Amino acid sequence: MTGTVAQIWRYPVKSMAGEKVESSAITAGGLEGDRRWTFVDHSPNRDGKLLTNTQDARLMTYRARLVGDGVEVTSPMGQVERLGNGFVTQFGESVARPLTLRFGGGQLR
């Protein structure tokens, strides 16, 4: 049986919309750059658990893409911002949850 890859999609931030790419390396952890960042919820009943679109579907209204050594996030209103602590604070306020950002196994600098 032979198959053909029609499209490759990468999702740099877990539960956000992603980006279509022409090619990508495959690493031991999967598609390079895929789901490398995730939000961690620090609400009283969820402290330390990942925030996904199951808890808040608004995550899917943001689009993430790899740019250089980081991630750009496009909001539902079309505003583009670099993923970092400023974005995490603003997004956390908009969803009324205290959030941090995790890269791989540690905090994003």
**Which residue has 């960042």 as its token pair?**
37
**Does residue 109 register a pLDDT over 50?**
no
Spatial separation of the C-alpha atoms in residues 60 and 52, rounded to whole Å: 9
* Confidence category of residue 108, pLDDT binned at 50, 70, 90: very low
pTM of the model: 0.86
**Does residue 106 register a pLDDT over 70?**
no
Q: Is 102 helix (H, G, I), strand (E, B) or coil?
A: strand
* AA identity, residue 39: F
**Does residue 100 register a pLDDT over 90?**
yes
As a three-state string, the secondary structure of 2-52 is CCCCCCEEECCECCCECEEECCCCEECCEECCCCCEEEEECCCCCCCEEEC
The more confident residue out of 57 and 109 is: 57
Calculate the average pLDDT of the chain.
Answer: 90
b/e map of 18-32 (b: 16 or more CB within 10 Å)?
A: bbebeeeeeeeeebe
Spatial separation of the C-alpha atoms in residues 32 and 11, rounded to whole Å: 10
